[in-house]
């Protein structure tokens, strides 16, 4: 996660772009990009964003 934005809003934007353009699920994204899913969701959840699998986005 060291190469990802530290700002949670920017991080959400990057992740959502990848989810929209390249990955069918958050699990695929995390596995492919070697991102700790729990850490990612904790950071974004603390900023008020939750993963919504039905739309494959954080909101």
pLDDT digits (tens, 9 = 90+) for 1-59: 889 999 999 999 999 999 999 999 999 999 999 999 999 999 999 999 999 999 999 99
Q: What is the pLDDT of residue 15?
A: 98
For the chain, first and last CA: distance in Å? 20
Rounded to whole angstroms, the Cα distance separating 32 from 59 reads: 22
Predicted TM-score of the model (pTM) = 0.95
DSSP run (H or E) holding 42:
helix 37-46
């Amino acid at each position: 996660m060291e190469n990802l934005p530290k700002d949670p809003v920017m991080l959400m934007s990057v992740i959502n772009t990848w989810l929209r353009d390249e990955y069918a699920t958050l699990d695929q994204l995390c596995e492919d990009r070697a991102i700790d899913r729990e850490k990612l969701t904790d950071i974004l959840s603390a900023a008020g964003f939750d993963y919504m699998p039905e739309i494959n986005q954080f909101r």
